[in-house]
Amino acid sequence: MDFRDRHVVVTGGTGALGSAVVGALLEAGATCHVPCTSEAKAQRFPHHAHPRVALVATGTLADEAAVARLYDATPNLWASIHLVGGFAMGPVAETDKAALMRQIDTNLVTCFLCCRAAVRAMARTKAGGRIVNVAARPALEWRAGAGMAAYAASKAAVAALTVALAEEVAKDDVLVNAVAPSIMDTPANRKAMPKADHALWPKLEEVAATILFLASPENKVTRGAIVPVYGRT
């Protein structure tokens, strides 16, 4: 996949999956624009010194002004990949409104605002583009959301947003899709679930490869898809 001379925004790019996605994009020739909320995170980011990485200081991407700063700093946007999000367990009986709104802000609102900014930026170039969101397995398999209903609902909303937006902008050659991971093989997940069979979990580089295809010029027809990336779980 050839991303040479293409600018790509990757929200959540300093995280575990984000680092894998940015690394793969750099190998494919892309210039990556990555929001960052602190200098400490910037320094820990393995690609921070790469000449085709632009770290953009932002606040929370649930804030319209922060999103505007990110996209205003990105010229000739080709693709926008939205990995920022958050996870929280908790039965409904113990989840208050504040906890629910944190999941909605972190997962849905950030995605919506970045989708909106990306669509506007792509309209200015009139060259089409690609948007990739991240849903989750419980967004597709609702019963799997037991014990994490606020998270499942916010990610199901991301899936619905993805499909609806894909219909809106297909005429402009903007293809919108999402991936829906199960538990991914990260150090944090291994620590949290030491007795799980980690070999069954999807690897970060495997999920990144699916995201890269959906964001690439080689993807000419896939839109409105919520692609399961479950590994063998």
The phi, psi pair for 93, rounded to 5°, reads -60, -20
CA nearest to 184, candidates 157, 206, 167, 168: 206
Give the residue carrying structure tokens 């150090």.
Answer: 187
Strand, coil or helix: what is 85? coil
Strand, coil or helix: what is 226? strand
CB 66 within 8 A of CB 58: yes
Type and span of the H or E element at 204: helix 204-215
CB 158 within 8 A of CB 139: yes
Give the residue carrying structure tokens 């890269």.
Answer: 212
Catalytically active residues are 151
- Dig out the tokens for 105 from the structure: 């802000």
